[in-house]
Structure 1
């Protein structure tokens, strides 16, 4: 192979390895590696105005969030707000997940309350990484229904588990309960401030880039998330966290 063909590939890998984390799907409102630690949207301002080029459809009945981590261990928070300035009203939309292993991670079935359909808002992905809290935002046009995971929704050979992360929990004021469900469940728990129930079944092995699946179904009483999310572990069984 010619050296001229190798050099661009090496430079490309070097560029990715220097990044904090990348959004694979949906498109974020912008990415700047030097500003990714700037809350709430990594140094970018959401534009939810009609005709905005930032807006992407997000299906409240089930849609995907896909990222690429460049650290060996990170913790993910997914949150949403109807505040177009992204300054307030953040609600958690999935349990906090710790990823162990470099590379792609996707959750293919993020759900939101059906009442969000027809509205616009901001979805935020925040990671607690070795170099601090890092942020990217998606300007979302919320639509009804669900959509199959895209080709960008894939996983490297990684493991993941539900965990507590006080720094990430401090970034939300409650939970937006979606409508996901599962027939494979274990009992949940409650906290002193709000009751919550989540269900999950651990998978047996991890597989690289297999077909995506749903991590776990969870239901939370209106905007309440308790300590039941702590220490509920799962392992990737291909594509995404599976049930």
Structure 2
């Protein structure tokens, strides 16, 4: 009986898991409170450990316990996480369990030299889930991070009214521009690609969505995948 129960318990743990933030280090990794906005029930204090996040491009990675989730990447210099959020990248739909990492997420240059919060919000079968990281925004581009990995998944740009609504509050913006730059469903068809283990995540057709960050992102894709092989 033990041999039967152990695999069943393992499957149950995968099925009930939400997601974990692998990069940058999260404030906490507690599944139980992830549904609590804005940071999964956790806040920043004077003793909170911070990590450097490069405004010219740095990695944000997750490990997903759901077969499908939509991701919102955002940041703020409001250490209370009460507002001032900037959307950093188009909303992405991940299909498939496991790791998903965007290696070059760009932050507005005026964040440089400030402390702040990087947040990932997942829209999953369990609803909206929140995880945050306390960071120091620093100039430059991050070195290649070996722990920025992707499982065999599919990633698409998509629209998600529930996630977009989080960016419609006072002071919210998209990519450092007005919130009118929020991705729409029409982006999905031109931004579909599959990722293989440890490969860089696809970045496609970003220019039409976030003009201010397109050049750097597309350059990073070319370097990551050996040219434009994954650009559609």
Q: TM-score, normalization: structure 2?
A: 0.75
Q: Does 2:157 match 1:162?
A: yes
Q: Which residue of 2 aligns with 1:35?
A: 33
**Tell me, what secondary structure is at the counterpart of 1:169?**
helix
* Residue deviations 1:109-147 (CA, integer Å, cap 9, x gap): 100111111011111100000011000001110000011
Q: How does 1:113-132 map to 2 (within 5 A)?
A: 113-132=108-127
Change over 3 Å in CA distance of 1:213–1:100 after alignment to 2: closer
Deviations 1:187-211 (A, max 9, x none): xxxx9x846899997576542223x
Q: Do 1:109 and 1:215's aligned partners in 2 also have CA atoms closer than 8 Å?
A: no
Cα distance between partner residues in 1 of 2:9 and 2:29 = 19
Unaligned runs of 5+ in 2: 213-224
Matches within 5 A, 1:182-197: 194=180
Deviation at 1:162? 0.7
**Residues paired across the two proteins, number:** 204
Partner residue in 2 for 1:22: 20
Partners of 1:204 and 1:125 in 2: how far apart?
21
| Larger helix percent | 2
Farther-moved stretch of structure 1 (136-145 vs 25-34): 25-34
Structure 1 stretches lacking a partner, 5+ long = 179-190, 223-236
**Alpha-carbon distance in 2 for matches of 1:170, 1:157:** 30
RMSD: 3.3
- Alignment of 1:141 onto 2:136: yes
Q: How does the TM-score come out when normalised to structure 1?
A: 0.72
